[in-house]
Structure 1
Amino acid sequence: MRRHRFLLFPAGAPGAGLLLLRLSVTIFLATYPAGRFAKDDWQPFAFYLLAFAIGTGLRTRSAATIAMILAVVALAAGGPDLNGAFIAHAIDALVLAMVGPGAFSLDARLFGRMTVRLPD
């Protein structure tokens, strides 16, 4: 019987690529609130909390899903300075939610590298 292996947290070049993808979404979340909200609003805190979670790889799939929803809501709300970059960041967040954080993340440290063996 031949066994198939699937690694939940890829390392090597794919893991480094996922780290760069996480950093891209993190930079978007960390720079978007600047100048967009009043100082007493809670939204910048939410963006910074999501940026921290995605940047460190903590609960990445959930945080990336929320980030994607925020980007889509920002696009739907419109604005004079919204452009194709928002679409790219929404797609980045969606991809990150689908593939996970990679080996260079807190999720990988907390949950370990899992192997799922599928029967033929």
Structure 2
Amino acid sequence: MASTPASAATSCLGSTCTGKDPATTTCQNDAKTVTTSILGTELRYSPSCRAAWARYPGGTDWVHTIKVENSQGNAYSTRFNGGGGGAVWTRMVNDKDIVSRACATDDGGYACSSWY
């Protein structure tokens, strides 16, 4: 039996991903956008890590805070100044056998994606 290279191993799984930055894990490698709020905030999901996070792709200056939350009450948010810069994202939450959503606030209100 061949061993799995360390670089191919999942860096976290489910609850062990909670609070980690997806950019510093292998979770970003297979991540996909599974739902988007009306303010453009994406819920990103990694099937291999069973974790989720919110990402705002940038390009406008009216979203000020993004948040990811799961149905267990875990949540992480990122506040930023607009200006049309690049993407911003939150830390991850466990999405193993539960659901999560991405939310955003701007000067006009608050909107969330559907649960996934």
Fold equivalence (TM over 0.5)? no
Relative to the length of structure 1, the TM-score reads 0.24
More strand by share: 2
Between Structure 1 and Structure 2, which shows a larger proportion of helix residues?
A: 1
Q: TM-score, normalised by structure 2?
A: 0.24
The one of the two structures with greater contact order (alpha-carbon pairs below 8 A, sep at least 6) is 1
Between structure 1 and structure 2, the one with the greater Rg is 1
